[in-house]
Amino acid sequence: MSTVLDFMTQLAADPRQQADFAQNPEQSLRAAGFAAGSQEARDVLKTRDFAMVNGSLTLSDPGPDPLPDPDPFPGGPGGPPHR
């Protein structure tokens, strides 16, 4: 598991994982793949502070779409309507 969002999604859906996290958050995070390199993510999750966790989920620009959809309005915003 690589992201805070992935971890939280699985945690929300799995009562056993919730109990494990409540009992030993550090072990649960390591088992989920948060290694030493992700110390900041582990620290945020262990706070159980909604505002801090939510702030860590800020999404960044993923970059250009590798499979762009066709333009529904060829010719730009003023182009002919789609029929």
For the chain, what are the domain ranges?
A: 4-56
* pLDDT score for 49: 78
| Two structure tokens written together for 11 | 């945690």
**Between 74 and 43, where is the model more confident?**
43
Q: With bands split at pLDDT 50, 70 and 90, how would you rate the model's confidence at 39?
A: confident
Dist. CA 11–CA 14, nearest whole Å: 5
Per-residue CA distances from 35 to 15, 28, 42, 52, 78 (Å): 23, 11, 9, 20, 51
Digit-coded pLDDT (tens) for 48-57: 777 777 776 6
**Average of pLDDT values for 34-47?**
72
Q: pTM to 2 decimals?
A: 0.51
Dist. CA 38–CA 2, nearest whole Å: 9
Dist. CA 6–CA 32, nearest whole Å: 9
* pLDDT score for 1: 39
Dist. CA 81–CA 46, nearest whole Å: 52
**Between 44 and 24, where is the model more confident?**
24
